[in-house]
Amino acid sequence: MSKHARETIMKYVFMLAATASIMAVLLICVFLFWNGIPAMAEIGPFNFLLGRVWAPADTPQLFGILPMVLGSIYVTAGAIIVGVPIGILTAIFMAKFCSPTLYKILKPATQLLAGIPSIVYGFFGLVVIVPFVREVFGEHFGGSGQSIFTASILLGIMILPTIIGVSEAAIRAVPDSYYEASVAMGASHERSVFWAVVPAASSGIMTSVILGIGRAIGETMAVILVAGNQARMPTGLFRGARTLTANIVMEMGYAAELHREALIATGVVLFVFILIINLLFNLLRGRKKY
């Protein structure tokens, strides 16, 4: 077989792989919107999105997902506050300050964090973090320890390997000339790293943050174990809440008819959230590049 023939074959193989990826996304979109939009229309868009009560067993049935929307936002925001600064600073340390000996320990450790199943994280949170929060903060703020605060800490830990890995790769991809030029102008090592190298890697660092947000907002099993899962409006940082993903998983097993369709519509809202986050990221990255 000639070189040209092999290149032609591989071209179509790659095209087929790309088409399969696009088709998978399209099929997911069609399934979600085909099954979710009619339910949203039957319930009423405002009643569904802004309703404060989720009571599928009542008569009449009430399907308000505002408590779950706020629960997802609060938990994800808390995970960002916990995980993003630690992850980015760890990536900077590993890329520019860490000794080779210590790096051989830290790198496999962060990669191991990425390989731990979410249910194991959930058990760790339930056995370790929940009692700690209950004993330390329960006396002053109340609560059982299963709360937005606990879920935020756990999700902050879970998104660390994503943020660290992508951010470190982005920092290492910056040409050495940036650092060398800064040092040549009299800047210290620390100042050169934080004012020359890190800004040049900001696009990759932002990508890591977006991936971390996607991991946090889509996490289910770990959140179910530590968040409290009350389908009500969040009333405080140390009170329980239910996220969109937890709502789907907990009730899909016995849901039927309109209840089932309302859960699929919840998945539509979650899917739109992810699309909005990626769109905002692309707009921000394009504006920064401009």
Query: Model pTM greater than 0.95?
Result: no
User: Does 20-287 carry CATH code 2.60.120.10?
Assistant: no
d(CA 204, CA 89): 14
Q: What is the pLDDT along the chain (290 residues), one digit of tens a residue?
A: 677 788 888 888 999 998 998 999 899 888 888 888 888 888 888 889 888 888 888 778 888 899 999 999 999 999 999 999 999 999 999 999 999 999 999 999 998 988 899 899 999 999 999 999 988 887 777 778 889 999 999 999 999 999 999 999 999 999 999 999 999 988 888 999 999 999 999 888 988 998 898 888 888 888 999 988 888 888 888 888 899 999 998 888 888 888 899 999 999 998 888 888 888 777 776 655 54
Please tell me the predicted confidence (pLDDT) of residue 289: 55
d(CA 282, CA 290): 12
- The widest CA-to-CA distance across the chain, in whole angstroms, is 76
Please tell me the predicted confidence (pLDDT) of residue 258: 87
Residue 241 three-state SS: strand
User: Are the CB atoms for 218 and 165 separated by under 8 Å?
Assistant: no
Where are the domains positioned within the chain?
20-287
Please tell me the predicted confidence (pLDDT) of residue 73: 92
